[in-house]
Homo-oligomer: A and B are copies of this chain.
Amino acid sequence: MSSPTRNPVTRPRTLTRERILEVALELFNEQGYEKTSLREIADRLGVTKAALYYHFQRKEDILLELHLRLHDLGRDLLDQLDALDEQELVAAWPSLIDQFIEKVLANRELFLVHQRNEQAFHQLADNERHQAENDDIEQRFRRFLANPAIPLADRVRMACSIGAVFSALMGAGGMFGDAPVEEVAALVRDAIGDLFPSHR
């Protein structure tokens, strides 16, 4: 399992397919996955409902593709995490959080749709598990947090870091008045730095 030749499942990226995903992402964020009908997606795209079925077999597959793109973002972070041993981990954490913050900021809508439709994404995993048994990044992260070789206090603070990033950076624009995102991001980095005082 997990042979080195496993390719990243070449997913076709035709133009209209991308436009469907783009519009779906918008609508799922505005109204939620369940409340968004294929008709609405088709309407905003200027095509009919049936046309969507040429590009995606089921409605669920649209959400699945968005899920896979989130996985692509999280995968190498978790690979880095798994490559470190327990002693290096705390020292490397700020750097990993930096990368994470960059990815969140560069893909806000994608992270947002996951947060706002947690249930829909979660039920996806059941069907997706046929393709990628232990590739679910949430599961991998939970397994990481359950590792007794890492001091519990550190694991708790790592979990806190993730939540802090989401909480402070993923609210819709202007959560802190008119403060620019970069400034907020820098303050979040500082705060998480204080959670891991490397020189004590």
Complex interface bits, A125-165 against B, C-beta within 8 A gives 1, otherwise 0: 00000000000000000100111100011011101111111
CB-defined A-B contacts under 8 Å, sample of 12: A31-B123, A35-B119, A116-B119, A142-B175, A146-B175, A153-B187, A156-B187, A157-B187, A159-B175, A163-B164, A191-B195, A194-B194
Once bound together, how far apart are the Cα atoms of A162 and B115, in whole Å? 15
- Number of identical protomers: 2
Query: Which among A38-46, A56-64, A176-184 touches the partner chain?
Result: A176-184
- With the chains together, A148 CA to B115 CA distance in Å? 28
Task: Please give the residue numbers on chain A whose beta carbons come within 8 Å of chain B beta carbons, in ascending order.
Answer: 31-35, 115-120, 122-123, 142, 145-148, 152-153, 155-157, 159-168, 171, 174-177, 179, 183-184, 187-188, 190-192, 194-195, 197
